Structure 1
Amino acid sequence: MLNINATQVTSENFSKYGTYYNMKNGTKDVISTEGEGFSDVRTTHPLIDTVGNLGFTLGSPLPAKIHTMERHLHTQEALFCLSDPFVITVAKSDENDYPSTESAEAFIVRPGEVVVLKKGVWHDACHGLKDEVYYYWMALEREEIVNEWIVIVPEPVLVDI
């Protein structure tokens, strides 16, 4: 089994998997505005490239032994961190019909940060740093589209911080 430690997500280290937004400290793709009694930050472009469903998931704590991953060939998926950090584990999309152990990477996403996975990126459910964690996601989901969880080859990945 391959052991990997999660690293803090940045625009640079996440770029091969998708887009990173920092809604608190700003990135090049967000706009901040202020009004009486509020401040607001929004993305400069639509978050995903299709209409999307909103989901709410409870992820288990680290360390996590990851045996399977899923991918979406029909939609991007945005993951939102609101109050507690989470870890997203991803693996490269290539010509394989399975996620590979050697390409697995894990990223810590903190409150106010959003990551948007490109279509076809293998990923696991998110995990809390020490405890279970709730997080929101947005992707196009339809009953007729089955998301298969595929075994990581050649072996599972153990993710921790």
Structure 2
Amino acid sequence: MKINAIPVSKIDFSKYGVYYNMNTASDNLWTSQGEGWVDFRTQIPIISTPGSLGITQGTPLPCKVSKMERHLHTQEALFCLTDPIVVAIANCGESKQPLASEIKAVIIQPGEVIVLNKGIWHDACHGIHKSVRYYWLAEEYEGEPTEWVDIYGGPIELHT
């Protein structure tokens, strides 16, 4: 199944979590400014638990994705550094594995942040034309190890 990535700003992201555009003022950001600078920050903590900051290197598109992960104990925030990133996401409710028919792929631009709700299936992020590094923030602990699960009806192929 081929899935084309679309800008995260073009979908209703609320069924997956929270979307922040940190490049401009909005209802969920505080803004301040001074001589030579403008600041945008979230009005609430970005995740609801203490978090660990991680950095991951993702492969370029197009690519095949056969497995996804989810976290039942924490939200996960994803931030791109300097290049756009693409992530496949799925809200499959109580399903024990991600369903290919429910997967969407979104493009996150520099300055945009997504915070995935607990239980949202996702893969590692990918670069559009090249390998890319991105930050993530989530609660890390040994009680729930990362488990990558086969996509039912997959694999999928991500494109822009």
- Under TM normalisation by the shorter chain, which class is it? over 0.9
Q: Secondary structure at the match of 2:12?
A: helix
Q: Is the alpha carbon distance of 1:74 and 1:11 closer, same or farther for their aligned partners in structure 2, counting shifts above 3 Å?
A: farther
Identity of aligned residues (%): 49
1:56 counterpart residue number: 55
Task: Confirm whether residue 146 of structure 1 aligns to residue 145 of structure 2.
Answer: yes
Deviation of 1:12 (Å): 4.4
RMSD: 1.2
TM, length-normalised to structure 2: 0.96
- State how many pairs are aligned: 160
2:44 counterpart residue number: 45
> How far, CA to CA, are the matches of 1:84 and 1:28 in structure 2?
25
In the alignment, structure 1 segments of 5+ residues that lack a partner are none
Deviation of 1:95 (Å): 2.0
> How far, CA to CA, are the matches of 1:86 and 1:153 in structure 2?
24
> How far, CA to CA, are the matches of 2:85 and 2:150 in structure 1?
22
* Contact 2:61-2:158 at 8 Å conserved across structures: yes
Task: Confirm whether residue 100 of structure 1 aligns to residue 99 of structure 2.
Answer: yes
> Aligned runs of 1:83-122 on 2, under 5 Å?
83-122=82-121
> How far, CA to CA, are the matches of 1:31 and 1:155 in structure 2?
41
- The AA in structure 2 aligned to 1:157 is I
* Contact 1:99-1:153 at 8 Å conserved across structures: yes
2:154 counterpart residue number: 155
Deviation of 1:145 (Å): 2.4
In the alignment, structure 2 segments of 5+ residues that lack a partner are none
Task: Confirm whether residue 5 of structure 1 aligns to residue 11 of structure 2.
Answer: no
- The AA in structure 1 aligned to 2:58 is G
* Contact 1:11-1:21 at 8 Å conserved across structures: no
* Contact 1:69-1:151 at 8 Å conserved across structures: yes
2:78 counterpart residue number: 79
1:135 counterpart residue number: 134
- The AA in structure 1 aligned to 2:131 is E
- The AA in structure 2 aligned to 1:47 is I
